[in-house]
């Protein structure tokens, strides 16, 4: 097991409905040393890519992206969740269905912060069905920018997102891929990487 898999095995809690709770170290209380290791690992995995910007989505992606950005020496842009599209014009907009909150959000990024000259690493905490990533990829495409890669902390390999994103040809680097998890006994198994 790698460092993140070990931490998930130790502190992750399996909830009903295919939800893995990692709020003691990843998306409520935050273990900065762990995030730093994650950033280091992505830096290694995306070595040689001309990344000049990291794109993520609020809220949980921001902390992960910011610590990772220190390893890449690039700025972070985060997509804002908004129900209003009245700022359209200066904004790229995508529709994202939330897996955990079961609602649809419009996510927006100002045109000031993403353009055709950008080579983007997309970072997020979880990959489940891939809706959040599809929205972020759509925003990069609308900007005429290039997706250089996608870094995910926890991929739930038994949901469709990972396969879909890899089939589209993107370099997707998930630091932990959960192969199965069981809410009754709390067992979590990981895909061999």
Interface region with ligand 5GP, contact rule CB under 6 A, candidates 18-26, 45-53, 87-95, 139-147: 18-26
CA distance 129 to 69: 25
**Are 175 and 153 within 8 A, CB to CB?**
yes
CA 57 to chain CA centroid, nearest Å: 8
Q: Tell whether residue 161 is a contact of ligand 5GP (CB under 6 A).
A: yes
Q: Does 20 engage in binding with ligand 5GP (CB under 6 A)?
A: yes
Distance in Å, CB of 23 to ligand 5GP, minimum = 7
172 membership: H or E segment, kind and range: strand 172-181
**Rounded distance between C-alpha atoms, residue 193 and residue 182, angstroms:** 21
One of 132, 136, 150, 176 touching ligand 5GP (CB under 6 A):
132
The DSSP code sequence of 32-82 is HHHHHHHHHHHHHHTTT----EEEEETTHHHHHHHHHHHHHT--EEEEEEE
Chosen residue from 94, 126, 139, 188 binding ligand 5GP by CB under 6 A: 126
Sole binder of ligand 5GP in the list 25, 35, 99, 190 (CB under 6 A): 99
Point out which span in 2-10, 16-24, 65-73, 81-89 binds ligand 5GP (CB under 6 A). 16-24
Helices H, strands E: what count in the chain? Answer: 5, 10
- The reply to whether 125 sits near ligand 5GP by the rule CB under 6 A is yes
User: Does the footprint of ligand 5GP cover residue 62 (CB under 6 A)?
Assistant: no
Place of tokens 């055709």: 116
Using CB under 6 A as the binding rule, the residues of this chain from 69 to 88 that contact ligand 5GP are: none
Question: Which residues in this chain contact ligand 5GP in the complex, by CB under 6 A?
Answer: 19-22, 27, 60, 99-100, 124-132, 156, 161
């Amino acid at each position: 097991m790698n460092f993140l898999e070990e931490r998930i095995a130790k502190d992750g809690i399996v909830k009903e409905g295919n939800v893995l709770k990692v709020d003691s170290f990843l998306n409520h209380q935050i273990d900065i040393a762990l995030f730093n290791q994650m950033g280091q690992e992505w830096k290694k995995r995306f070595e040689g890519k001309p990344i000049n910007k990291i794109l993520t989505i609020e809220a949980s992606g921001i902390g992960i992206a910011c610590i990772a950005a220190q390893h890449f020496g690039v700025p972070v842009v985060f997509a804002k969740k908004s129900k209003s599209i009245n700022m359209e014009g200066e904004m790229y907009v995508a529709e994202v269905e939330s897996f955990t909150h079961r609602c649809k959000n419009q996510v927006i990024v100002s045109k000031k912060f993403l353009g055709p000259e950008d080579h983007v690493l997309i970072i997020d905490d979880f990959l489940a069905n891939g809706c959040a990533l599809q929205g972020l990829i759509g925003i990069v495409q609308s900007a005429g920018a290039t997706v250089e890669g996608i870094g995910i902390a926890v991929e739930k390999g038994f949901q469709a997102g990972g396969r879909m994103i890899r089939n589209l040809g993107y370099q997707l680097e998930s630091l932990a891929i959960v192969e199965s998890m069981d809410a009754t006994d709390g067992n979590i198994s990981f895909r061999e990487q």
